[in-house]
Amino acid sequence: MSGPVRSDAPGASEVSETFEFQKALREAFWAALVALGLFGLIVGLKTDQTLSNEIVLKPRPGLLAAMVGAVFIGSLLRNWVVWNRARAAMHRTASGSRIDMQKVEQIGLPAFIAFLSVFPVIVIFTAGWGSVPKWVDNFGILILIYIMLGWGLNIVVGLAGLLDLGYVAFYAIGSYTYALLALHFGFNFWLALPVAGAMAAMWGILLGFPVLRLRGDYLAIVTLAFGEIIYLVALNWRDFTGGGAGLSAPRIDFFGIPFGAGDTDFSARFGLEHSPAYRTIFLYYVILVLALTTAWVTLRLKRLPVGRAWEALREDEIACRAVGMNTTNTKLTAFAIGAMFGGFAGAFFGARQAFITPESFVFEQSALILAIVVLGGAGSLVGVVLAAIVLIGGSEILRELEFLKPVIGEDPSKFRMLIVGGGMVLMMLWRPRGLIAARAPSIFLKERKMIGSENVKEGHG
């Protein structure tokens, strides 16, 4: 694979100069008919409960017509865009300039880190102390937690190419380790943090050891099952985990000094007026450091033999085995290191929430983290950041769009997971190997030539 030929480039001779409107119309008609079949019952009729819990059907012809119409117009537009692009490709000689994603990665990450380290200051100066809970807590900390989880999972999915559908289990193990250690042995956050990471890594090894011999999709299903088992155990083992009622955990403190209103607490000792915002800002910097550590370790590991081995494994497992690599151990390190960062994030989550329930660790969370990694383009650190900001920040913004409710008839924030699911499918169709993932050769003759992801097939490049 060396030429710049893309698999979806249309054959130039097949494109006609005029848009075949009739053909497109026929296609759109069929698409609309299929849509009518798909949506006719499920969208066209709504099952509503009466007071006596009896179900009645409420017809929604307007919504149904709108959706079928949208499919009809969408199909027409799609045909037109495809034709337009094909015609443009025929007239163009050069392949056109494309953004060098590798450059984006190199410039984007430092710029992003610089912005993040001053983010709370910007918030305080532009919006005042009162907006700290909203902007720093709801946006900043929440997004950073997901960035960290995304970066942790990225080691497993993006670098080693192992699909982990139960990553949230390690997050849960970290959280419960922290909460239980604090409850029974009085550990504070800083003491519990390494234990939580070690515990998650240990579970990663315990789970990974027998299952990592499996082929990719079986591995994915086993990790899914493991995630569900951890969730169900947390839900049902009431004596140990508190069951559905949850478990309270101590809030984070400033290296031993609690953030309270008392005389020996943080604000009194430093001669400041008491405000809960200090804790929030401290939490922000803690998760920022944790997340950046994850990124730094990932970048360093990538250059070590083990990191190279992960990437080789992702590209072609059979070849790796043929050259005598111990694939199980290589996978196990990726799995354990990814799990460890999940455990750290979990302990942080416990210290932030001060209260954990099994409902924070459902499969949907795993799917969301996976979606962040996939939509960010598996393997790319900046991609994960962008995807986390769009998915997590976007859903916070959807919550702000309450005024749209009368227009679309539903709470806009409900559409978050719908968009996540659709996004995953589109990403796979459009660029399955990721946005930025490019192959950098480790041995070269004169200059290091990057190989774009679109030119790399499994077992090639």
Q: Which residues bind other proteins (CB under 8 A)?
A: 34, 37-38, 40-43, 45-47, 49, 53, 55-57, 161, 163, 165, 210-211, 214-218, 220-222, 224-226, 228-229, 232-233, 236, 318, 363-364, 367, 370-371, 374, 410, 414-415, 417-418, 420-425, 427-429, 432-433, 457-458
Closest distance to other proteins from the beta carbon of 95 (Å): 22
Closest distance to other proteins from the beta carbon of 17 (Å): 27
Element (H, E) at 413: none
Residue 196 or 435 having the CB closest to other proteins: 435
Residues 430/374, Cβ–Cβ less than 8 Å: no
Closest distance to other proteins from the beta carbon of 316 (Å): 9
What DSSP assignment string belongs to 128-183? -GGGHIIIIIIIIIHHHHHHHHHHHHHIIIIIT----S-THHHHHHHHHHHHHHHH
Residue 113 or 417 having the CB closest to other proteins: 417
Token pair for 287: 């998760």
Residue 265 or 316 having the CB closest to other proteins: 316
Q: What are the Cα distances from residue 40, in Å, to 26, 49, 67, 437?
A: 20, 20, 10, 41
Residues 212/219, Cβ–Cβ less than 8 Å: yes
Q: Is the dihedral of CA 345, 351, 352, 357 positive or negative?
A: positive
Report helix, strand or coil for 357: coil
Residue 9 or 41 having the CB closest to other proteins: 41
Residues 137/276, Cβ–Cβ less than 8 Å: no
As to burial, measured by CB atoms within 10 angstroms (0-12 exposed, 13-18 middle, 19+ buried), residue 188 is middle
Closest distance to other proteins from the beta carbon of 351 (Å): 29
Q: Phi and psi for 48 in degrees, rounded to 5?
A: -115, 145
Closest distance to other proteins from the beta carbon of 263 (Å): 47
DSSP annotation of 250 reads P
Residue 31 or 292 having the CB closest to other proteins: 31
- Cβ-based neighbours of 50, under 8 Å, separated by 6 or more: 56
Q: Which single residue is written with the structure tokens 């953004």? A: 99
Residue 323 or 445 having the CB closest to other proteins: 323
Closest distance to other proteins from the beta carbon of 274 (Å): 41
Residues 398/413, Cβ–Cβ less than 8 Å: yes
Give the separation between CA 442 and CA 160, rounded to whole angstroms. 17
As to burial, measured by CB atoms within 10 angstroms (0-12 exposed, 13-18 middle, 19+ buried), residue 369 is buried
Residue 103 or 458 having the CB closest to other proteins: 458
Amino acid found at 460: H
Residue 234 or 281 having the CB closest to other proteins: 234
Closest distance to other proteins from the beta carbon of 221 (Å): 7
Token pair for 432: 């399955």
Closest distance to other proteins from the beta carbon of 203 (Å): 13
Closest distance to other proteins from the beta carbon of 65 (Å): 15
Residue 291 or 313 having the CB closest to other proteins: 313
Residue 418 or 445 having the CB closest to other proteins: 418
Closest distance to other proteins from the beta carbon of 156 (Å): 12
How many residues in the chain? 461
